[in-house]
Amino acid sequence: MNVETIRKRLSKAGPFLVRTSDGEQYTVAHPGSVMVGRHNLVIEDEKGGVDIIDPLHVVAIRRAAIAKPKNGPQGAHALRPTPR
């Protein structure tokens, strides 16, 4: 995917799911947890680790909704794609 397209999509309020050509999905909780460079997309995960992705392998960026579990603690959240 074009780097400028990625920047535009990720500049809005998150969360987002970034899907790559190998089928992996990466969660972008908010725009501050991602850096888009000319040759790399760096996504910070919830634990502070990072994934470095070649922008050419990004095939989709979708908004994600925060799903609250039916059971379990109130603070537990999971990200899922927003229905189209």
Query: How confident is the prediction for the chain on average, in pLDDT?
Result: 81
15 band by pLDDT with thresholds 50, 70 and 90: confident
d(CA 2, CA 81): 22
Report the CATH number that the domain containing residue 42 is assigned in CATH. 2.30.30.100
Give the position of tokens 């400028």. Answer: 4
Token code pair at residue 70: 């039916």
pLDDT of residue 28: 87
The closest alpha carbon to 67, from 27, 33, 19, 32, belongs to 27
What's the domain count of the chain?
1
Q: Is the pLDDT of residue 1 over 90?
A: no
Query: Which of 46 and 84 is assigned the larger pLDDT?
Result: 46
Token code pair at residue 66: 């925060």
Q: Which domain holds residue 21?
A: 3-69+76-81
63 band by pLDDT with thresholds 50, 70 and 90: confident
pLDDT of residue 65: 74
